[in-house]
Amino acid sequence: KNQVEQSPQSLIILEGKNCTLQCNYTVSPFSNLRWYKQDTGRGPVSLTIMTFSENTKSNGRYTATLDADTKQSSLHITASQLSDSASYICVVRRGGATNKLIFGTGTLLAVQP
Amino acid sequence: NAGVMQNPRHLVRRRGQEARLRCSPMKGHSHVYWYRQLPEEGLKFMVYLQKENIIDESGMPKERFSAEFPKEGPSILRIQQVVRGDSAAYFCASSPTLEGGTEAFFGQGTRLTVV
């Protein structure tokens, strides 16, 4: 079954600290993996897109990793800020003609002062 | 270039009424996707459309729900005879091509409340 699972479900950290969010997927065939940030009441906004051949990709303080062999990805946030408080969603695009994005349930991150 | 526009942002309907949700994709985008997000849950795929065609509707409930993306105008998600369980946030996304690395941009969503 094509699934995307994320952990932890929620996380609280202090401002300035680092954190790492995990994503495991069973989607096949695999096309690419994306990390989205969703602020409360807003639509998701893309942080990174990683294809099969990419192991690491950075976007500012966000660094995503992908291990296509173990079907795992992580999102590392460095020097967290209060504005990082949001839901972080791992999304895997299934290959083929349907162009379907399969969403994880997200990790809710709260950054406290 | 305006982003993906969804309207209304908030919609309240009584049980049994119809709900129409609109999505205008980004300029130049001919691929539209609808997702539903129930409270405390992740986004779930509903339907994928190209202009005048439904490509994948495997996530659409079999009854009461329909979607279209006409040659002219916005994509419409229509829910007939709404029930309380339809209360959710409905998000629309658009992309320009089928290419794997192409970005999909999301709208701000329509929050449907059925009373």
Q: Give percent of chain A above pLDDT 70.
A: 97
8 Å CB contact between B78 and B20: yes
Alpha-carbon separation of residue B100 from A93, A110, B32, B57 (angstroms) = 8, 32, 15, 20
**pLDDT per residue over A23-32, tens digit each?**
999 988 888 8
pLDDT in tens, B65-104: 999 999 889 999 999 999 999 999 999 999 876 555 567 8
User: Which residue is closest to B36 within chain A, CA to CA?
Assistant: A103
pLDDT for position A90: 94
pLDDT band at A99 (very low <50, low <70, confident <90, very high): low
Q: Looking at the complex, report in whole angstroms how far the Cα of residue B69 sits from the nearest Cα belonging to chain A.
A: 16
How far does A98 lie from chain B, in Å, by closest CA? 6
Return the pLDDT at A88.
95
Q: Do A103 and B42 touch (CB under 8 A)?
A: yes
Q: CA-nearest residue of chain B to A43?
A: B108
Q: Does any CB of chain A come closer than 8 Å to the CB of residue B38? A: no
What tokens appear for A51 in the block?
């294809």
pLDDT of residue B101: 58
Flag if A95 and B108 touch (Cβ within 8 Å).
no
First to last CA, chain A: 41
Q: How far is A17 from chain B (nearest CA, A)?
A: 26
Residue B99 has a pLDDT of 58
Q: What are the DSSP calls for B6-35, one per residue?
A: EE-SEEEE-TT--EEEEEEPPTT--EEEEE
Encode pLDDT of B7-63 as tens digits. 999 999 999 999 999 999 998 888 899 999 988 777 888 999 998 899 889 899 989
- Tell me the pLDDT tens digit for each residue of B17-32: 999 999 999 988 888 9
Contacts for A76 with CB less than 8 Å, ≥ 6 apart: A18, A19, A20, A21, A62, A63, A64, A65
Q: Is the pLDDT of residue A19 over 80?
A: yes
List the single residue in B4, B98, B103 with the smallest CB-CB distance to A46.
Answer: B103
Query: Measured between CB atoms, does B31 come within 8 Å of chain A?
Result: yes
